Structures are given as structure tokens and as C-alpha cells.
Structure 1
Amino acid sequence: MERRYDIDWLRVIAIAMLLIYHIAIGFQPWGSLIGFIANDEPIPNLWIPMGMLNVWRIPLLFFVSGMGVFFALQKRNWKQLLGERATRILMPYGFGALVIVPIHVAILFKHYGLPFSYRPSPAHLWFLGNIFAYVLLFIPLFYWLKNRPETSFANTIRKLFSSPAGFLIIALLFEAEALLVQPSPFEMYALTWHGFFLGMVAFILGFLCVYSGCRFWQNTLKWRWVLFTVALILYAVRLLHYELVGPNELMAIESVAWILTAFGFAHKYLNRPSRLLSYLSAAAYPIYIIHMAALYFFSYLIFPLAWPVWLEFVAVVVLTFVACYALYEWPIKRVSFIRPLFGLKKLDK
């Protein structure tokens, strides 16, 4: 199998979007209501682009995770895959919940003058538990598809996802999830049944899209401008008519349109190796694990300074990213026994 650099890039981009999104929450008037350190002077207009990202940032991550399982299965049997996923997912998940998350919770309590309380929680790492659950649930199906590529079922999947009808199937499954679960609001994914079931749908679809072969990607490439136009129109309707909180059915279709648009443009422009991608691909996961602690720390320091609000936003963005990359470079990247706690392999001796 050829390495798909566009999928690697999408994983990096999805995690970067999550970082920016979390920083933006601190500049919304309701940020403190969902456990963030909120600035006394909000930037409401910042939520206009964040509202666009909100309906597809998490489903995209689950799509990419399902695609990653497909590629991992090409080189591993099911026992090796489960062992590798347990090490890469469960260890950072447990360490993060027990050690990393309580750090940013302690900073939050300090900022709001609350007594310290040790609070282990998955918090922003919730999706790791979901991904491992999906691997356990669907590894028999995925392994069966891998070993029986010429069955009528496998051929039907490839045929469906190799045509534009595959786009319709993805949209219908997203729509069915929205109708059955009735999330409120649609973009509330963390630790909800909506996040679990939508993530599961996206995870399976990610696997099947890659399984279907190159025609799926050729279709996203061919139709990328149409998909982008549909996504933009639906977002404009949601923004102008519904003030960003549209009906679940509308937001589900918009989510699919943005995700397929991302696949098409990434396949066109990003499917090539680079040193930057190699670095970011390794760094993205550990940086995501630690970013909330860095974000809360710099919010705690900067928000009381009463700087111009946009300067505070830029300062928090820059300092959070710089601190995360510094911590990644040392000790996470260079200390062998620490690496597995952040999803990295131990250094070769």
C-alpha cells in the first residue's frame, strides 16, 4: 500500500483545528459554563469561523482514525493491531485522565478561587476511549473484509463507495444518526451518545472509503468544488437564518459536505511527503494531549492583564503552541520511558 500523505495531513490539520477551537472558547461569554477559563472581554465574532468548524472537526477526526485502522491492518494481524492500539490509545488515555487533565482542572479552580480538588477525568481525551471501543467492536468485520476481498458483500461496498453514490450513503448515515439520537446541540460531542454514535459512523465510513480503493478519492477530487459550494451554502443558511444553531438534519448534511471537501482538496494538494509533515505527524498527538494544560496556564496568566482583547487572543495562541512544541521536544520526544505515555514508541537502543 502506498502511504497516503493527504490522510496524514488531515489528521494533523484536524488536531490543529481542535487546538484553535479550544482557545477560541476562552473568548466566548459562555466559556466558563463548560469548564473553560473565560476572558472577561469576549470576542463574539470569533465564533463565526469556529461555528463553521464545529460541525465537522470531530467527525473528520473519526474518519481519519478509521482510515488509519485500514492501513494498520495491511501490516498486522488482528492481535498485533489490538496490542498496538491498546498501547497507543489506552496508555495515553489513562495517563492523561489521571495526570494531565487534573493539572488544567487545578488551574481552572485556582483562577476561579475554588478549593483544590483532584479530579481525574478524560475531558478533552474522551474520543480516545471511543476510538478504542470502535476498534474492539469492528475488528472482526474489518479483518473479515481484509481476508475476503472477493465476496459479494466486499464487492458491493467497493462498488457503492467507488461512485458518487458513496457520498449519498455517507450523508444518509449522518442524517439517520441525527434523526435517531436528536442531539442538542449537534456539536456537543464530548462524552455524549451523539458523540459516540456519530463517531462510530464516521469511523466505519473512514475504513470503508479507503477500502473501496482509488475511485472514491478520484470522485472527491472531481467533485470537490461542488462539495465546497454545497458546504458553503449550507453554512451561510445556518449563519444568516439560524444564527449558527440550525436543525440537526441541516447540520449533518453540512458536516458531510465539509468533510468530503477536505478529502478532495487534501488529495489534490497534500498527497506528497515532506519533512514538515513527518515532524508534525509525530508531534500532533502528544501536543493535543498536553495542550489544555498549556492553554489554561496562559489564560490564567494573561487574562487578568487587561491587554487589548485581540492581543490577548494572539498571545494565548502563540504561547500555547510554543509551550506545547517545547514540551514535545523535551522531555516527551527525547525521554524513552515518557514517550509511550503520549502515544509514541520507545526510542531504539
Structure 2
Amino acid sequence: MARHYGLDWLRIGAFALLIFYHIGMVFVPWGFHAQTAQPIDWVAIPMMAINPWRLALLFVVSGYASRALLLKGGGLGGFVRSRSARLLVPLLFGVIVVVPLQPWIELTTQHGYAGSFWTFLRHDYFGFAKISGILLPATQHLWFVLYLWLYTMLLALAAALLGGRSLQRAFDAVFGGLRLWLLPMLWLVLVSAWLFPGARETHALWGDWVAHASYLPAFLFGFGFAGSRTGFAATERLWRWAAAVALLSYALVVAIEYAWPVNVPTPFPYGHLFAAARGMQGWSAIVALIGFADRYWNRNHKWRATLTEAVFPFYIIHQTVIVGVEGALLPYGLHPATEFAVLVVATVAGCCAFYLAGREVRWLRPLIGLRANGPVHPPVRATLATEEA
């Protein structure tokens, strides 16, 4: 596989957007672990610009990275061991150390929990039971890491069953040309509008079929796309058209959301139309972003390697910082603009401190998602094809 800097930048940008998206979750009336005293309906409109594709894109890029890592050597067994260590160790660390503050803030600010954080840790968090509907201990935002590990193991199992035979030709035949855009888009429309209409992701692993139906195919697509010359050629031809369709679909989503905002029942057939438009917007945006990254971002920069390494530690810590800071701000009744500014500054500072401190300590590196034996400062030429991320 040739190195592709554009996919590095796309991954960095997708995770950065995800962090700002979770800050936005504080202000929308959708329900979050910590929310401003007076949620603002209109904030949902810009949030919906990235909502349909933000996570699917991350799974596509993760599938792409998995292909590069599998080809690095060490065989299938080495791939399984490496990915399990790189994903399960920070997942376990996150559940035990990073996450607990989030459910405690949610319970104290939204469900009347009266115990201190220390009491919560000693008596409740590791109780393997539900409190006010919250199952403890919790994965919270780290569900993504758990799902990614599961999909990686399913991929390894499929590779073992194939016995070294490649399905690349089949991928290129199925997703050649216009089909690369249309087939996944139709599948997402089918999932959101007809198979699971109105369903919400639970992130509980078992029974979260709407998420698995969306993200497992996206992950497998990324794996196949990584070795597809015809796939990259198709995105080069289609990305501008896909961008236009994504914008038109988003306009329809906004119109329906404006007519029937949060907590207002959407009459038939507009609910199905809303779900279908989201599916079209989601995959069209992914095709457009990959094509744009391939066309304009496939070049190196002195900051790219460090940002590539920082992405996973940032992801591990960011939501705990957001929820913790918002929990501390709530009693002061700040103006939403001030609240937002404080959250942005605190989240960026907290993520940077977590990464910069953790990368300097060798025994901490695996806990925050970095290679234990890797350099503290990544090599200039490192990319998705050489970085275990």
C-alpha cells in the first residue's frame, strides 16, 4: 500500500470535529451526560451538518488503517495481538480511570444522586448494576473503541477463513465507478428509513443493531477501499457531485427539523423522508471528503505526524474534560456563549496536557493508546500505513 497523507488529515479532522460535536451536545436538547441549564433548539441545526457521517467516516478510516497494519508483517496472529493490545488496554484504562467522572456528573446534576465522587467510586461505580438507568461501570464514549476491536476481530476471523485468498477483485467489481457512491448510500437509507425507522443507537454492544448495520459495513468498506485503485479513481470523479447531494440532503434535513423540532412528533411520511435524507447526506459526505482529501490533502507537513499520534489520546480524555468542566460551570448560570468558550478552551487544554504528559512516560503510553516501544515524537514519514492507530 502506498502512503496516503490525505487520509491522515481526514482522520485528524474527523476526530477534531467529533470533539467540537460533543461540546455542542452540552447545548442541544437531545440528552447528554452534562447539559446547560437552558438547552437551545437551534444548535441542533449545525450539529446535523456532521451528525449523519461523523462516526461512519471514522470507521471507514479505521478500516483503511487496519488494511495497512495487516500488511506490515507479523501475520494474522500478530495483527490480532497488536490490535487487541492497542485497543483493549486503553479501553480498560479508560473505563476504570477516565470515565467514572462522567456518570457521577450525570447522576448528580440530572438524577439527584447525593454521594460524593469518592463515595460513588467506592460503593457504586464498580457495582455492576444500574443507577437511574445508567449501567455501571460504563464505557461512555469509549464504546467506539470496543466496537472497533470487535469489528477488527471479525475481520481477522474472515481473513482466517479465507486462508489467504483475496476478495479485492470482488470489491473492485461491486464498488466500481458510480456504485461506490450509490450502493452504500442506498444501504444507509434502507437501514435508517426502513429497517430501523426511528431507532437510536444504544452503544450497549449487544442489541445495538442499527449501529452495527451502519458501522460494520463502513469498517469493511474502508478495509477494501484501502487496496482499491478503482475506488480512489471513482472518488476523484464523483466527489464534487457527492458534495452537492450531501448539501441538498442536509437542506432537506434542516427543513424537516425546523418544521418539527425536537420532541415534536414528525408526521408520516416526513419522518421516513428525514431518515432517508440523513442516509443520503451521510454517505455522500464521506465520498466527498475522501475525494477532497485525495485531491488536496495528500501531502505531508511537519505537524501531521504529531497530530496523527495525538488523535487517540485526545479521544480518550476529551469527553471526560467536557462533562467535568460543564458540571463545574452549571452552578454559575453563565451565558451560553461564555459557557461554550470556556468549554472549548478547557477541552483543548485538557486534551493537550493529557497527551503531552502521557507520551513522555513509557509505562503510560500504552494506557493512553500509544505504542509502548515507539518514539515519543513520531517520525516525519509516519502515516496511516505505518502508524498503529
TM-score by shorter chain over 0.5: yes
* 1:131 matched to 2:184: no
Q: By how many angstroms is 1:262 displaced?
A: 0.9
Q: By how many angstroms is 1:185 displaced?
A: 4.2
Match of 1:169 in 2: 183
* 1:284 matched to 2:311: yes
Letter of the 2:182 partner, please give it.
Answer: L
**Native 8 Å contact 2:245 2:280 kept in 1:** no
Match of 2:78 in 1: 80
**Of 79-88 and 117-126, the range deviating more from structure 2:** 117-126
Residue from 64, 73, 95 that aligns with 2:93: 95
Match of 1:107 in 2: 105
Q: By how many angstroms is 1:95 displaced?
A: 1.6
**Native 8 Å contact 2:37 2:333 kept in 1:** no
* 1:315 matched to 2:331: no
Residue from 120, 134, 137 that aligns with 1:120: 137
> What per-residue deviation string (whole Å, max 9, x for no partner) do you get for residues 107-134 of structure 1?
3334455133313211111121111111
Residue from 200, 208, 219 that aligns with 2:216: 200
Match of 2:169 in 1: 155
> What per-residue deviation string (whole Å, max 9, x for no partner) do you get for residues 240-288 of structure 1?
1344885333322221111111111111221111122211111111111
Match of 1:7 in 2: 7
Residue from 267, 274, 278 that aligns with 2:294: 267
> What per-residue deviation string (whole Å, max 9, x for no partner) do you get for residues 59-102 of structure 1?
11111111111111111211111011001111111221222111
Letter of the 1:37 partner, please give it.
Answer: A
CA RMSD of aligned residues (A): 2.3
* Counterpart Cα distance in 2 of 1:172 and 1:6: 26
* Counterpart Cα distance in 2 of 1:140 and 1:106: 38
**Native 8 Å contact 2:59 2:219 kept in 1:** yes
> What per-residue deviation string (whole Å, max 9, x for no partner) do you get for residues 39-71 of structure 1?
113333222111121111111111111111111
- Identity across aligned pairs (percent)? 30
Letter of the 2:203 partner, please give it.
Answer: A
SS in 2 for 1:54: coil
SS in 2 for 1:29: coil
User: So what's the TM-score if we normalise by structure 1?
Assistant: 0.89
Match of 2:43 in 1: 46
Letter of the 1:84 partner, please give it.
Answer: S
Q: By how many angstroms is 1:222 displaced?
A: 2.3
Residue from 227, 234, 240 that aligns with 2:242: 227
* Counterpart Cα distance in 1 of 2:7 and 2:281: 21
* Counterpart Cα distance in 2 of 1:302 and 1:78: 48
Q: By how many angstroms is 1:347 displaced?
A: 4.3
**Of 243-252 and 64-73, the range deviating more from structure 2:** 243-252
* Counterpart Cα distance in 2 of 1:141 and 1:301: 47
SS in 1 for 2:50: helix
Match of 1:68 in 2: 65
> What per-residue deviation string (whole Å, max 9, x for no partner) do you get for residues 162-219 of structure 1?
4222222222332343366415246x36332211221111111111122222x32232
- Structure 2: tracts of 5 or more residues without a match: 126-135, 376-389
User: So what's the TM-score if we normalise by structure 2?
Assistant: 0.81
* Counterpart Cα distance in 2 of 1:55 and 1:143: 33
Letter of the 2:315 partner, please give it.
Answer: Y
**Native 8 Å contact 2:199 2:210 kept in 1:** no
**Of 122-131 and 109-118, the range deviating more from structure 2:** 109-118
Going from structure 1 to structure 2, the CA distance change for 1:181 and 1:85 (only over 3 Å counts) comes to: farther
Going from structure 1 to structure 2, the CA distance change for 1:183 and 1:61 (only over 3 Å counts) comes to: farther
* 1:339 matched to 2:338: no
> What per-residue deviation string (whole Å, max 9, x for no partner) do you get for residues 222-243 of structure 1?
2222111101111101111344
Going from structure 1 to structure 2, the CA distance change for 1:124 and 1:141 (only over 3 Å counts) comes to: same
**Native 8 Å contact 2:168 2:227 kept in 1:** no
Letter of the 2:14 partner, please give it.
Answer: A
- Structure 1: tracts of 5 or more residues without a match: none
**Native 8 Å contact 1:173 1:201 kept in 2:** no
